Structure formats: C-alpha cells, structure tokens
Amino acid sequence: MAINILVVDDSAVMRSMIIKTIKNTGVEVGEIHQAGNGAEGLEIVENNWLDLLFIDVNMPIMDGIEMLEQIRKNPITMDMPVLIVSTESNSERIKIIDEQYAGFVHKPFTPEILREKILSVLGVMH
C-alpha cells in the first residue's frame, strides 16, 4: 500500500533531500506534497488524503510545534502519523514532541534510519 506524504520545511533544498531519502527507503510512496511552513502545511492537510507528515521544527509564520499542536487538536487529524525532522537537540522541545505522539528524526539521517522511523510511526511491524 503506497503512502501519501507531506513534507513541511522552510528550506526547499531540505525538502528535496528528505523526499529523495524517503524514495530510497524502500517504503512504497504515493503522492508527496510539500509546504514551506506550518500554515501552508495545514492547508495541504485539510485538502488532501495523507498518511504521514514530515515536519521541520524551526520555520517562519508557523513552526512545526505549532503545526503539530493544531493537527492534534483537530478530531479528523488527531491520530495522523507525524515525524518531526529537525536538527533540534533541546530536550524540552523533544519532550513536547513526544507528548504530542510524534516520532522524531534527527538531521542528518540515512534511508535506513528513516525507514525504521516511518514504519514505527505507521505502526507497521518490521
């Protein structure tokens, strides 16, 4: 079953790198959407069928933590699998991410690490 993904990062280069790495994980991917900040990301979430979100933490307009909080407040998206992808190493912020039931991937990462995290948040046995 192919999964539809949204990649939210304010860096177009980083979005491209994440997408390229996702394609190298061996996970079957359907549509991949992109957004440059959390506000754009929420709009895409509302208008598309998505199975997994990749969200950066530090972005202008609406950061990844704010976007994640909005997703968890919405009854329709509250259970949506989310991976926070960041260089973040602040343990308090990582704790907030954990409390919002999101996975965390530290940049940089390999396709193997990403595959493990994707399967984990999707609840797939591997």
Mean pLDDT (10-residue bins), the chain, 126 residues: 94 95 95 97 96 93 94 94 85 79 87 92 72
Query: What are the structural domain ranges in the chain?
Result: 11-30+38-52+60-90+100-110
CA-based Rg of the chain, rounded to a whole angstrom? Answer: 13
Instruction: For the domain made up of 11-30+38-52+60-90+100-110, give the CATH fold.
Output: Rossmann fold (3.40.50)
The pLDDT assigned to 15 comes to 95
What is the pLDDT at residue 126? 46
Q: Is 58 exposed, middle or buried (0-12, 13-18, 19+ CB in 10 A)?
A: middle
